[in-house]
Structure 1
Amino acid sequence: MSVLFISGIDTDIGKTYATGMLAKELMKQSINVITQKLVQTGVAINPDNGEMNIADDIIIHRQLMGIALQPYDLDFTTCPYRYQKPASPHLSAQLAGHTLDPEVITNATQSLQVDYEVVLLEGAGGLLVPITEALLTLDYIATQGYPVILVTSGRLGSINHTLLSLEAITSRGLDVHSVIYNHIHDSAAQTDEQIATSTIDFLQNYLAQNYPDTHWLQLPMQDDLYETVFDLPTTFIKSLKIR
């Protein structure tokens, strides 16, 4: 296994934070890992050359990993498609007068696999976000057969969104590799402590009964994001099957 697709139950669930922190912890295990972004919207144009900047999420990944931008970032291999309009990829591409070719993303991933043991591919928005008029994100992932890591939280409605996401993943014959409960929203107005605690208990029991091989991870939230420790169980590392 060398490619894991990281998505979330909704937009703004903390996929980027989870992806960067997961990469950081894999690095600590001496695993050669890189992150990739499927497509990034809401990217600013560089006023010096009129070109699209490096994807914002890739920059955040590197900051969380504690490393500089990599050559594959600078030549845009880690995110070939970047659009200015902060919208669904299919709309952002349309407004830019551009057609997104999924093969370009696939070729970029394969290039990264040559030099890295693990590629963490972060999606844009939720699982069923359209990346073209004819292709949903999860259907693209299904063509590649990538195992999925699903990021969730304790916000009201998370149980429903999580179970729907799990069904969408399995209906396409994909493996739910892990569920990451992200504590990044613990202090948000829409997060109630009793609901969040109940959500954790329910989801853990649901996974144990219905997805016994799926890893359950909890990503803590600290005042200093860069000091957060994200402990990965030995079983998670072994599941990557890279050694």
Structure 2
Amino acid sequence: MTSDNQSILEIKNLSVNYGVISAVKQMNLHIQPGEIVALIGTNGSGKTSALRSISGLNKELQGQVWFEGKEITKLEPHQIVKRGISQVPEGRGVFPDLTVLENLKLGAYVRKDKAAIATDIQSMFALFPRLEERKKQLAGTMSGGEQQMLAIARALMARPKLLLLDEPSMGLAPLIVKEIFAAIRQVNEEGVSVLLVEQNATMALATAHRGYVMETGSIVVEGEAAELKNNDVVKSVYLGIG
């Protein structure tokens, strides 16, 4: 068991090295069931390396990753998806030569319940109505915002208990960002825990319950989102205040 058996996710002393470069240094982080937790920091601070370690995509790591009281550090990515963790990668990663509908069906590849998959596709169309309008369109021909909606919907098709989001606002117009974050809040209200990696610290802290700030591979500040919004370092470096 984890030392905190209430946590849905617990990272213990995680370190990731790429050759001589230390991307993540002795990182500790936890998420309670039903929480949105923001992980903010500048480019190169180690946020994506941390997410990839949770998803099983990073094998060059030390430390432990625990999910629902069981260690998942050494599991393969598809095994981690089956356990209940889905990741939306930076850059969206949709299959450009497949339609919206085909992308959504691929998101459910670990499932066999065809009737429930069909129901969930309709739920994704309710969450992002644009996807229904474009369900027969090739994903590669859609706008960046539409592709981000599809990437999130595809990840949700695995019915995750924990959703990992890597820079969901990157390169998107402000109105689309609001739509994406409204959907993230809705998904969370329906019971999915969220770890949100985001450079837009203002939006991230307005959405999250708690947050962690990373600098050069280390957590330097952590706390309730409201506390972080009032932290002098966070205000000056990440929120552009002061």
TM-score over 0.5 (shorter chain): no
In terms of fraction of residues, the more strand-rich structure is 2
Give me the TM-score of the superposition, normalised by structure 1. 0.36
